[in-house]
Structure 1
Amino acid sequence: MAECPFKLNDQLCDEMNIDSAGIITPSEDEHGKLRPEFLPGCPRINLNDPNMGAYLTKELLTPELNEFEPYLWLVAKQDGTHISSLTEQIVRGRNIIITEKPSLHLVWAHNRIFIKPLPLYLLSRPFWDYYLLSDKSPIARSSQQDILQAANGLLRSYSFLVQHESDFAIATDEKVRLVPREISYTKFAQLTRLLEGINNKDVSPRFHFGELRLTRLNFWYKVFLLGFNYSKVDWQYSAYMARFYAPILFIFAIFSVVLAAMQVNLAVDDSQPIAVRNAYRGFSNFTLHFILVVMAFLLVILIIMVLRELIFAISDLIQKKRRNI
């Protein structure tokens, strides 16, 4: 069974305690006053909210990706550590987009990557001990394990997203706020050192993989008839239709050149000198053959790229199965 990946001395949020009766309570602040009775970072959720299980399920679980996990090897590298740091994301030209949907965490498309901010309550040891491990928790025992594994996966992902102080500066920037600003880099680095050691067996199936490419995810989602797409890439019809302009114009250009070459061939008059006729027909035939060669070349390149990625994915899958034997 999965456990909390850090000890009480390593926690970065001390806003909760567990009393002698084993019940979660707010801790005292620096002035000796009790803090408000809500989940740290979530003023709308009371500590004793009977719907705590439903709230955490919505905030942390990824049921669609867990169900799709047997096919995720077609989408991404089968390695939960395959996550680039925040500075590396910028080097790759990706904008960091904040999302509260756990299903979009570490999903990227074109120049964007979606990242879910780290909930403050996950950095509290009493939160884990009471809600996810205790029999007195308001969360059903059947749901505790799922939530615990999802929380482990989210925490582990941050050990790869934030590897340097420059990554931490990005994570705590006012425009991003992925990590609470009151936490120091030294303490966070000490915690993430522990989080790196979380095993795959202790995280939900989605976190057996790292970053996921949204375009591939949408493609295979259709192939396996799980839905029209996993998530939209473009939210405006104009942006969606713009993706088809280039291929449509390319096809029209090809047909225009082919038709023009055929017209030249048909328009050659037998009354013209033989040298002129041969030149017209020769150039027309050359154009048609050149178009065929270009189309064949592009098709071969496409097939090679698809086969290359498929072979890599299959070999990676075989290696993963061998490691698990």
Structure 2
Amino acid sequence: MAENKGGALTENQEPPLKPPFSAPPTVNSASSQNAISSTPSSNPDHGASRKSAPPLPTSALGSLPTISRKDHLVFLVEDDIDTFLKRDLDLTRLNRIHHLLWMAGRPLNARPLHRQQMMGFDVLLTEQADLHLLKFSNRLFVKPLPEYMLSYEFWKKYLCASKELHESACGFLLSYVWLICSPLDLSLARKLDLLPSFVTWPLWKGFVTSFVTNVDVNALDQVNKRYHFGELRLGRINSIYRTRFMFTHFVRGYLYGYNRYVVFFQRNFGWVLVVFAFFSLVLSAMQVGVGVPPVNSNAAFQHASYGFVVFVIVSVASLLAFIGVMFAVIFLFNMIAAISHDKMERIEREKLAQDRKNKTKSA
């Protein structure tokens, strides 16, 4: 970012991106990689907590995964950290439907972990940022907090490289500020393996204080717009995707969570049995009414019974036909997709193998 001769930013320029928390107070090479800035030294419990806590990591790079994928190709994470971070914090799918997210949740803070437990939600761990804080039934997806997110030096080198990445990372940290508000929440997070092992309550409290000082947690103008919402309903997001992107996502939606056709039809057409049960009760009552005076001589009742019988027959036949057609469409779609994917992967692997052989020969 260019500056004027006096070193100050011009009117239309934005200030350079900075980590959303303060740097650790120590300056030696080992502690400069520490994940969380310490709490003030005036805290009487601070020294004892640091002595009894597990040692802080010496490098955020050591906590990164081994491999990642880009366009179906596998690469070592430490060979291309920028690509890994873009994939690890990617929120593109949710941002595409941001104007419709009001259907899936309210623009409120996510509830703390202990509150989630009180409401009966079971936490499911995920590595996808665009599944973080999505809920379905009594389950809640939560992405564990990586160690690199708490490293000041890592932020300066990688996460402050672009505004989009910076906003996504700030929003992800904000979600944990929502989730962990008390020692009880921290204890639950430890049991669920959501936090790095070295995080203690004094460290976390000091980190949140620093974060809130640097990021406006009410205006939310410094975080990705996905984090203007807390929890979101996965079922409604699936419906939005199937409707909004009908030609590409009608079958799989946002997250396709079925590995058997039986499960798919049970979850999506279980209500049909309830409807059929009501139809059966009404038809049975009408059958009794037809044989009992004075109802059996009532012309209006006779016409209503006739109309309802025809309606039930047509409804059942239409619904069964619809389910049959849907099964055929989904089966054909999955079969064609599987054959196409297999063919593309085979060609790509043969091409990569040939390129490697050519490089070996030329060397």
The TM tier, using the shorter chain, reads 0.5 to 0.7
Supply the distance in 2 between the matched residues of 1:240 and 1:152 (Cα, whole angstroms).
37
TM-score by length of 1: 0.67
Is contact 1:100-1:117 (8 Å) kept?
Answer: yes
Give the Cα separation in 1 of the matches to 2:200 and 2:76. Answer: 26
Q: Which amino acid aligns with 1:99?
A: T
Contact 1:158 1:192 (8 Å CA) reproduced: no
Amino acid across the alignment from 1:237: Y
Instruction: Look up the SS of the partner of 1:177 in the other structure.
Output: coil
Q: Structure 2 vs 1, CA of residues 255 and 132 (structure 1 numbering), >3 Å: closer, same or farther?
A: closer
Alpha-carbon distance, 1:15 to partner: 6.6
Equivalent residue, structure 1, for 2:140: 113
Which whole-Å deviations, capped at 9, do the CAs of 1:51-82 have from their partners, x for residues lacking one? 11110011112111122212212221123xx2
Structure 2 residue 63 is the aligned partner of structure 1 residue 41 = yes
Partner amino acid, structure 1, of 2:280: S
Query: Which of 116, 119, 128 matches 1:101?
Result: 128
Do the aligned partners of residues 188 and 78 (structure 1) sit closer, same or farther apart at CA in structure 2, a change above 3 Å counting? same
Residue 229 of structure 2 corresponds to 209
1:155 paired residue among 173, 180, 185: 173
Equivalence for 2:351: none
Aligned: 1:8 with 2:13: no
Which of the numbers 117, 129, 138 marks the counterpart of 1:90?
117
Residue equivalent to 1:131? 158
Contact 2:159–2:166, Cα closer than 8 Å, also in 1: yes
Match of 2:102 in 1: 73
Please tell me the residue identity of whatever aligns with 2:22.
K
Q: Which residue in the other structure is 1:57 paired with?
A: 86
Distance in 1 of aligned mates of 2:147 and 2:274: 51
Q: CA deviation at 1:37?
A: 7.2
Distance 2:24 2:227 in 1: 26
CA distance in 1, matches of 2:190, 2:244: 39
Tell me the secondary structure at the aligned position of residue 39 of structure 1: helix
Instruction: Give the conservation status (yes or no) of the 8 Å contact 1:107–1:211.
Output: yes
Check the 8 A contact 1:38/1:44 in 2, yes or no: no
What's the secondary structure of 1:172's corresponding residue?
helix
Instruction: Give per-residue Cα distances to partners, 1:89-119, cap 9 Å, x unaligned.
Output: 1111110111001110010111100110111
Quote the residue 1:260 is aligned against.
Answer: 284
> TM-score, length-normalised on structure 2?
0.60
Contact 2:91 2:129 survives alignment (8 Å): yes
- Relative distance call for 1:59 and 1:244 in structure 2 (3 A) is closer
Structure 2 unaligned spans of 5+: 1-13, 35-56, 68-74, 309-363
Deviations 1:139-190 (A, max 9, x none): xx5xx221111110010110110011111011112xx211011121111122
Amino acid paired to 2:152: R
Whole-angstrom distance in 1 between the partners of 2:144 and 2:60:
19
How many equivalent residue pairs? 249
2:244 to 224, 227, 235: 224
The answer to which structure, 1 or 2, has the higher relative contact order (CA under 8 A, 6+ apart) is 1
Instruction: Say what the alpha-carbon RMSD is for the aligned residues.
Output: 3.3
AA at the equivalent of 1:206: R
Q: 1:155 to 1:37 in 2, by over 3 A?
A: closer
Q: In structure 2, do the counterparts of structure 1 residues 37 and 209 end up closer, same or farther at CA, with 3 Å as the change threshold?
A: closer
Larger mean CA deviation between 251-260 and 179-188 belongs to 251-260
Tell me: CA distance 1:123–1:14, structure 2 relative to 1, closer, same or farther (3 Å).
Answer: farther
Look up the SS of the partner of 2:124 in the other structure. Answer: strand
CA distance in 2, matches of 1:245, 1:48: 43
Alignment CA distance shift 1:9-1:278 (3 Å): same
Work out whether 1:164 is the aligned partner of 2:191.
Answer: no
Distance 1:110 1:123, change over 3 A: same
Question: Separation in 2 of the partners of 1:48 and 1:104?
Answer: 21
